């Protein structure tokens, strides 16, 4: 039997438009509010059409030495140019970028996942250092 992790795709975000990219401030202090931006298509824009789009982004935090990852949040992107007139008939699109504001007191790893309606589940990560 396969596991979900066997089907999660990863790649260098500079060469792949599906990988969620995590951006952190240059200075991070334990226990203080931290703004984390996650986007898909940072270097190569991802299409945002009725036929091909990023549906959501999720963000997780795995503290250093921790047993479990914490689900920090999810952003859904619901508008992809469709209207009652049909597909791609209106410029009403949500771009795949989300901002999460959290407080964390341990270093660890941030893990983001995203879902492309055609190319499936993707993952990107970043190290959180204080």
80 in catalytic set: no
Radius of gyration of the chain from Cα atoms?
Answer: 16
Q: Which of 18, 42, 58, 123 is catalytic?
A: 18
Q: Which of 23, 43, 51, 52 is catalytic?
A: 52
Q: Which residues contact 34 (CB under 8 A, 6 or more apart)?
A: 24, 25, 28, 101, 102, 103, 104
Q: Say if CB 25 and CB 37 are below 8 A apart.
A: no
Q: Which of 42, 58, 116, 123 is catalytic?
A: 116
Q: Which of 16, 42, 58, 80 is catalytic?
A: 16
92 in catalytic set: no
46 in catalytic set: yes
Q: Which of 42, 46, 58, 80 is catalytic?
A: 46
Q: Which residues have a catalytic role annotated?
A: 16-18, 46, 52, 116, 119
């Amino acid at each position: 039997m396969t596991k979900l992790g066997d089907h999660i795709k990863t790649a260098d975000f500079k060469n792949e438009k599906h990988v969620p990219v995590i951006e952190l401030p240059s200075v991070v202090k334990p226990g203080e509010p931290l703004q984390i931006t996650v986007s898909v298509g940072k270097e190569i824009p991802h299409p945002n059409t009725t036929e091909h789009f990023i549906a959501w982004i999720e963000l997780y935090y795995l503290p250093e030495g921790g047993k479990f990852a914490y689900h920090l949040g999810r952003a859904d992107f619901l508008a992809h140019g469709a209207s009652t007139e049909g597909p791609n008939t209106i410029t009403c699109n949500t771009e795949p970028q989300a901002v999460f504001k959290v407080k964390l007191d341990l270093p660890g790893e941030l893990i983001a996942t995203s879902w492309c309606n055609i190319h499936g589940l993707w993952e990107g990560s970043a190290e959180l250092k204080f």
